[in-house]
Amino acid sequence: MSISFKVLKKQEFNAVEFGGGRFLTPLQGSTDNGKEAGLGDWTYQIDVEATNQDGETGLFTVAFQPEERRDGLKAYSGYDIDFAIKYGYDADESSELERFCDYDQAILDALHDLAKKAARAEYERLIELLEAGELNIIRD
């Protein structure tokens, strides 16, 4: 039996839900096509039902947040994301899902692709607001 999954729910949390945090954040030395901004306080959370190779089914929440790039990396897109557990977001059960699937990365890779598309759409929306003068880059 092969592993499989079904997305049950997708949620996007932005600066409004975080109490007015940062929509865009400066990349501090990195360049992003001249915009020099990346997603700020943003989380993408996916509830998923997974079935492992033994036929067992489990429910998991996998969350993603923007990668923190402060090292001058030039190829950063401004919307690159990683599993949120890396940044201390306890609701991210990606490690549990990985163990449940005997460390097969197929489901995590597919979820990462879904989340990256959502991150890109949010980033492009915010950049349009920035270019229209309706949003500022919040600098700490």
- Kindly tell me if the per-residue pLDDT of 56 is higher than 60: yes
Q: Which residue has the higher pLDDT, 77 or 97?
A: 97
CA angle 9, 13, 18 (to 5 degrees): 145
* 16 Cα distance to chain centroid: 16
Give the pLDDT of residue 30. 47
pLDDT of residue 65: 92
pTM as predicted: 0.85
Boundaries of every domain in the chain: 4-131
